[in-house]
Amino acid sequence: MTKKAMSAKENILRRLRENTHETYEMPQIEIEGIKFADPVAQFIQTATTTAAAKLVEIPEGADINAEIRKAYPEAKVIASNVEGIKSDLNPDDVEKAQDLDGTDVGVIKGEVACAENGCVWIPQTMKEKAICFISEYLVILVSRKNIVSNMHEAYECIRFNDYGFGTFISGPSKTADIEQALVYGAQAARGVTILLI
């Protein structure tokens, strides 16, 4: 069956080539992304409105662990492998991803943030990436120095490590597919707090 499908495909492509009388070079298209005079201010505005994330600006020298506890005082299980973060679970030390089930707050580090749409690039720097999706709430640490205006610039900053995975996160998971009602936390975190450092 595969052989027949391949020969049918090859036959179609051969017939297309035979009946193509004129060819054109692909045009060179330069697309310039949107630029903001103040990408940090735009990121704050977009992340908190369009992306529906909470955002806390952390002054230099402030205790990040205290800010996390202040944002989520009821949290019983905090999971993180970010250096300096006090956690109950480390996604590098669990045996399997399911061991992260029951995580109240996952604390992860963003590599680059985009002012255009309020998203943050999260490279997989932990053994179990499930922390990004299974946690009830996410705290994303982002340096204000790593905020760019648009996705073109963001993609230029992306670097994959040994895990070869990363994802853009732009606020809490939400869907309106179910009975046309907006539901938070349908596929991932119910809430996202960005700590801008």
Q: Which domains does the chain have, with CATH numbers?
A: 34-196 (3.40.50.10420)
Query: What is the distance between the alpha carbons of residues 169 and 114, in angstroms, rounded to a whole number?
Result: 10
Q: How confident is the model at residue 93 (pLDDT cuts 50, 70, 90)?
A: very high
Q: How confident is the model at residue 9 (pLDDT cuts 50, 70, 90)?
A: confident
Mean pLDDT throughout 39-53?
A: 94
Mean pLDDT throughout 54-77?
A: 94
Mean pLDDT throughout 81-96?
A: 94
Instruction: Using a pLDDT cut of 70, give the percent of the chain over it.
Output: 95
Return the pLDDT at 178. Answer: 67
| Backbone phi and psi for residue 140, each to the nearest 5 degrees, phi listed first | -110, 120
Indicate if the pLDDT at residue 142 is higher than 70: yes
Mean pLDDT throughout 179-185?
A: 73
Q: How confident is the model at residue 70 (pLDDT cuts 50, 70, 90)?
A: very high
DSSP string, the chain: -HHHHHHHHHHHHHHHHHT-----PPPP---PPP--S-HHHHHHHHHHTTS--EEEEPPTT--HHHHHHHH-TT-S-EEE-STT---SB-TTT-SSGGGGTT-SEEEEE-SEEETTTTEEEEE--SS-TTHHHHSSEEEEEE-GGGEESSHHHHHHH----TT--EEEE-SS-EE--STT--EETSSS-SEEEEEE-
Indicate if the pLDDT at residue 4 is higher than 70: no
Provide long-range contacts, Cβ within 8 A and 24+ apart, for 26-34: 31/152, 32/152, 33/116, 33/149, 33/150, 33/151, 33/152, 33/153, 34/116, 34/149, 34/150
Return the pLDDT at 162. Answer: 81
- Range in 39-48, 61-70, 155-164 with the lowest mean pLDDT: 155-164
Give the burial class of 29: count Cβ atoms within 10 A of its Cβ; 0-12 exposed, 13-18 middle, 19 or more buried.
exposed
CB 85 within 8 A of CB 106: no
The CA-based dihedral angle spanning residues 180, 182, 187, 188, taken in that order and rounded to the nearest 10 degrees: 180
Its pTM surpasses 0.85 = no
Q: Between 185 and 50, whose confidence is greater?
A: 50
Instruction: Using a pLDDT cut of 90, give the percent of the chain over it.
Output: 66
**Among the ranges 4-13, 40-49, 178-187, which has the highest mean pLDDT value?**
40-49
